[in-house]
Structure 1
Amino acid sequence: EEAGFQEKEKKEIIKAIREHRGKGINRSPLGEILFEADKFSRACWQCRAKAECYKYEEMPGRQGICY
């Protein structure tokens, strides 16, 4: 309520947040943006577990911050 979103907008935002973590689902445009932003936000190049990470090679953050 403090942010000024309408009820419909809140539902779309919550749906996108839920969608962005799922695999193989049909994401909404906002869900897809959150999915990609989540990958770019991770500091993989600094992670101590990168050698064991199953998705390190597909993560854009493995080479540093992207602007």
Structure 2
Amino acid sequence: MRGPLHALWNTRLIGTYLRLRVGFLLAGVLALAGGAVLLGIGGLWGILTLFGLVSLILLAFGLVLITR
């Protein structure tokens, strides 16, 4: 017997769980980078730079999903 996790490994449940974990990891990294940019530049320019950075990253993710 290989165990219950091995039986569930290629199921939709585990795939969804892993995508959720990766999504939270990416969101955390993006939040840390955004906070560093905002604190480093500060003020209105920091907010605009942060908005541009987040927009570029989300655009890149969208392009990856479209071409996949």
Q: What is the TM-score with the length of structure 2 in the denominator?
A: 0.28
Q: What is the TM-score with the length of structure 1 in the denominator?
A: 0.28
Radius of gyration: which is bigger? 2
Flag the structure with higher helix content.
2
RCO higher in 1 or 2 (8 Å CA, sep ≥ 6)? 1
